[in-house]
Structure 1
Amino acid sequence: MPSRLSIHRPSPTTALFTVSNASPRRTITSKLLFCLEILLRILLFAFVLLVNAACARHLLFPPDSNGVIPWGDVWASKVGVLACRIADRQSLQPIGAASVLVGYMVIRKGYTEESLLVIRGLGVQTSTSSATYFKTASTRFIPTTQIQDIVIHEAFKGFEVRFYLAIIVEGESDVVVVFPNLLPGRLILEDVWKGSRKCLYAKS
């Protein structure tokens, strides 16, 4: 999915530039499909947990247990019977490996979102989303006093020339690359470069 740029300016002194390769969800159909995808992920994860519970059902979840969950009805249901069949026919090793794989697929986002927040008089903050839903994004704040310049560089990646937006920080030998994972095209970088410099250095 190609990267897309969105710009949000809540005030003349603040600008947020976000680059994402996620599918756009502007229509009702796309939003419904996204909700359906989340629902299917939840159901798949719940079934994986049920299969793991079925592996130890004779010890931990007997049918005649008097708990909050009526395990007798659970194991007698169609889904419960299927989970028990899988647990009885497979050993713990393949079930454990499949559970880890399915669990990662369920919590994996499948897209990347990176942003640059510019606040005049304070500095800039770069952010990169995590690969999973349960991990927060990695961020870094650079004060205005440490920013020497914001530039567009070019470098070789394989056999092609790629452009990237970089922040030159005082006292650091390496530049801070903005949007390091997505590396959007030059047109997007030029829009971010112009907008960030205008927001950061323009006179009030």
Structure 2
Amino acid sequence: MLTTAPHLYIRRPSPTTAEFTVTTCPPLTIPLRLLLLIIHLARLVLVSASVLALYSRFLFDPSAAVTTATAGTVGQQQQYNATSNNNNNVNDGQGGEAFALLLAGDVTAFAAALLTAARLSRAGALLDELAAPLPDWALAAACAGTVYAVACRFRLHTTESVLVLRGLGIQTCSSGSAAAAAGAGGGSRWGWARQTRFIPTEKIRDVLINEGFRGFEVRYYLCVVVEGEEDVVVLFPGTLPRRKIVEAVWRGIRACLVEGDGGDGGEKG
């Protein structure tokens, strides 16, 4: 439900331009959108909890937090916080101070005040109790690993596209896990990276379909032979679509580069 086999979309913005997109994302129905929203909210909660746990253990100063909260930033709020001793009132003071800092444009102080307010809340106190048995190194490793896995490496879908511009060249773009799989271009190996590369027409020697093995399985690779490079550029390295899609893109690229006809627009399985 969350992912499908790679399928092809063809878009033609102009008679001499064609874009071929291969993705593992299924059609975004309402139930799927709701499920993805729940997943993204869960990821946000995990990242926020990890950051708050690190802040509580290494940066949080209880005495400074209480002093700041009781001091306040505005006259009425100052009097209210000075006469309040429970955690809820302290938390309200921190929230008002954080909002004032945001309006003032002090992002660093706003983040610190927001984290302090979260730490003084019931949820923050419960999180601190749960993390208390862990030593510092274990907590730091667990939180860093969670943030890296959830925010940087976790991707449900992989999308790769090839934009063909007659007389100009070919631009490839990979997002999700495909960006890490691609070997050329200026992207990084972070999961959220978008890796792009442009190959000018004058450097394109040929566009080929090669047959190779992936484990014990025979796969078909769409390759671009680039002048001055020893290795060919593999298109769609992250999705590795089946032969029917590879052949459709191969015909579309050659037609667009040579004849200016990228094939009919629409979707192909």
TM-score category (smaller protein): 0.7 to 0.9
Contact 2:52 2:115 in 1 (8 A): no
Task: Select 2:208's aligned residue among 141, 144, 151.
Answer: 151
Q: Which runs of 5+ in 2 are unaligned?
A: 69-93, 98-112, 178-188, 262-269
Residues 75 and 145 (structure 1), Cα distance of their counterparts in 2 relative to 1, 3 Å cut: closer
Higher relative contact order (CA 8 A, sep 6+): 2
| Residue 57 of structure 2 corresponds to residue 55 of structure 1 | yes
- Map Cα deviations across residues 135-169 of structure 1 (whole Å, 9 max, x no partner): 43122111111112111110122222211001112
Contact 1:118 1:199 in 2 (8 A): yes
**Residue number in structure 1 paired with 2:85:** none
- Map Cα deviations across residues 43-95 of structure 1 (whole Å, 9 max, x no partner): 22111111112213653774414163387864453311212102322111111
Residues 192 and 62 (structure 1), Cα distance of their counterparts in 2 relative to 1, 3 Å cut: same
| Residue 165 of structure 2 corresponds to residue 112 of structure 1 | no
- Map Cα deviations across residues 159-180 of structure 1 (whole Å, 9 max, x no partner): 2221100111223232111111
Contact 2:17 2:260 in 1 (8 A): no
**Residue number in structure 1 paired with 2:257:** 200
Larger radius of gyration: 2
Question: 1:40 offset after TM fit, Å?
Answer: 1.7
- Map Cα deviations across residues 178-200 of structure 1 (whole Å, 9 max, x no partner): 11122111001011111111111
Contact 2:52 2:119 in 1 (8 A): no
**Residue number in structure 2 paired with 1:31:** 33
| Residue 216 of structure 2 corresponds to residue 170 of structure 1 | no
**Residue number in structure 1 paired with 2:5:** 2
Determine the C-alpha separation between the residues in 2 that align with 1:91 and 1:12.
63
Task: Select 1:189's aligned residue among 242, 246, 252.
Answer: 246
Contact 2:206 2:225 in 1 (8 A): yes
Residues 112 and 73 (structure 1), Cα distance of their counterparts in 2 relative to 1, 3 Å cut: closer
Residues 125 and 73 (structure 1), Cα distance of their counterparts in 2 relative to 1, 3 Å cut: closer
**Residue number in structure 1 paired with 2:171:** 125
Per the normalisation by structure 2, the TM-score is 0.67
**Residue number in structure 2 paired with 1:13:** 16
Identity level (%): 39
Determine the C-alpha separation between the residues in 1 that align with 2:115 and 2:237.
49
Contact 2:169 2:200 in 1 (8 A): yes
How many aligned residue pairs are there? 203
Determine the C-alpha separation between the residues in 1 that align with 2:138 and 2:205.
54
Which has the higher mean CA deviation after the structures are superposed, 7-16 or 30-39? 30-39
- Which one-letter code corresponds to 1:83 in the other structure? L
Residues 130 and 87 (structure 1), Cα distance of their counterparts in 2 relative to 1, 3 Å cut: same
Per the normalisation by structure 1, the TM-score is 0.87
What SS does the corresponding residue of 2:19 show, helix, strand or coil? strand
Determine the C-alpha separation between the residues in 2 that align with 1:147 and 1:163.
20
Determine the C-alpha separation between the residues in 2 that align with 1:123 and 1:181.
22
- Map Cα deviations across residues 76-134 of structure 1 (whole Å, 9 max, x no partner): 53311212102322111111111122102321323322111100110001122244887
Determine the C-alpha separation between the residues in 2 that align with 1:81 and 1:117.
52
- Which one-letter code corresponds to 2:158 in the other structure? T
